[in-house]
Amino acid sequence: MISVTLTSPAAVVLGGVWVLLLVATVVVWRIAPAPGSELRQRIRGWWMIVALSSLALVLSRTTALVFFGAISFLALKEYLTLIPTRKSDRRVLFWAYLSIPMQYYWIGIEWYGMFIIFIPVYLFLLLPVAMVLIGDTQGFLRAAGTLHWGLMSMVFSLSHLAFLLVLPQGQYPQISGLGLVLFLLLLTELNDVAQFCWGKLFGKHRISPTVSPNKTVEGAVGGMLTTLALSVLLAPWLTPFGMRDALFAGALIGVAGFFGDLSLSALKRDLGIKDSGNLLPGHGGILDRVDSLTYTAPLFFHFTRYLYF
């Protein structure tokens, strides 16, 4: 069970996030006085994200799992709306959506073995079987491949965030699953923000002009250093990591977040779109927000689980 008391480190950090967002809001209102400007909308989007996720995480483990499941659902739906799908696969897509409650149910009953193979093994084999039974071979590989890529990114990878909540915490009584989730979420999202800010301020040399022209060496390096510093600062509060592992986790999140972002940019470029949707004001769609998490969540989870749980 998540037990949040007002003085637990996780609760203090969560309070810190609200304070930080309040400060950011004041700053943005100063530097972007025009109502409805992109920066102001983006802050509004952050308020939505922070308010909803705080509520879901603090209430109970069940609300947190439902919340993460809803994010997977929205992300998968956005992905399937963007990519070309075959009309003959409607039933298969329906099954793919049903895998979301199942995947989060495995987490709820703490069945690690099923959680870790359900999508990569069972759905990987079964969904193409469903396609074969329907019998449409035109575009089969593309349909099976793109659907599996979506399920791996939006359901399997993102659900690692939720499994952090239920890792057995016996050896580390001071560490809560909530703390680990906060650590990963904060570092991933602040890494994005820091890369954006450093890039805006000092960006000169483009890293990958063909995929994402706004990414610069200066932004990436500045962002990563910021993430390393934050990791060292927050790790003693939220994680069982010592100094060495805090540095490693920070570097892992910085690099993985960067490539998660780029891989979704490549997808959008391939499809010829700028934003993945318009669910969050100023942020674009939900994929624009969870892109980095699809890389950081599984990598951080396995790093932590291998070394500590």
Partner 1 sequence: MWRIALRLLFFLLIVKPFFLLMVGVNVRNRERLPHQGPALIVANHNSHLDALVLVAMLPLPLLSRTRPAASAEYFLKGGWRAWFATKVIGIIPVATGGGRPHAEVLGEVRDVLQVGDIVIFFPEGTRGEPESLGKLKTGIAWLAQQLPAVPVYPVRLQGLGKVLPKGDWLPVPFFCDAWVAEPLRWEGDRQRFMAALTASLGG
Distance of alpha carbon 4 from alpha carbon 2, whole angstroms? 6
Determine, following the binding rule CB under 8 A, whether residue 78 of this chain makes contact with partner 1: yes
Nearest to 286 by CA among 158, 165, 94, 197: 158
Q: Closer to partner 1 at the Cβ: 211 or 279?
A: 279
Determine, following the binding rule CB under 8 A, whether residue 84 of this chain makes contact with partner 1: no
Q: Closer to partner 1 at the Cβ: 126 or 201?
A: 126
Determine, following the binding rule CB under 8 A, whether residue 81 of this chain makes contact with partner 1: yes
Determine, following the binding rule CB under 8 A, whether residue 93 of this chain makes contact with partner 1: yes
Nearest to 239 by CA among 304, 153, 152: 304
Determine, following the binding rule CB under 8 A, whether residue 36 of this chain makes contact with partner 1: no
Answer for which of 62, 137, 174, 278 binds partner 1 (CB under 8 A) is 278
CB of 121 to partner 1, least distance (A): 24
Length of the chain: 309
CB of 94 to partner 1, least distance (A): 5
CB of 89 to partner 1, least distance (A): 9
Determine, following the binding rule CB under 8 A, whether residue 77 of this chain makes contact with partner 1: yes
Binding segment for partner 1 (CB under 8 A), chosen from 5-13, 21-29, 84-92, 300-308, is 84-92
Determine, following the binding rule CB under 8 A, whether residue 205 of this chain makes contact with partner 1: no
| Contact string 231-270 vs partner 1 (x = CB under 8 A) | ----------------------------------------
Q: Closer to partner 1 at the Cβ: 144 or 279?
A: 279
Binding segment for partner 1 (CB under 8 A), chosen from 85-93, 111-119, 123-131, 297-305, is 85-93
Residue ranges that bind partner 1, judged by CB under 8 A: 73-74, 77-78, 80-81, 85, 87, 90-91, 93-94, 97, 277-279
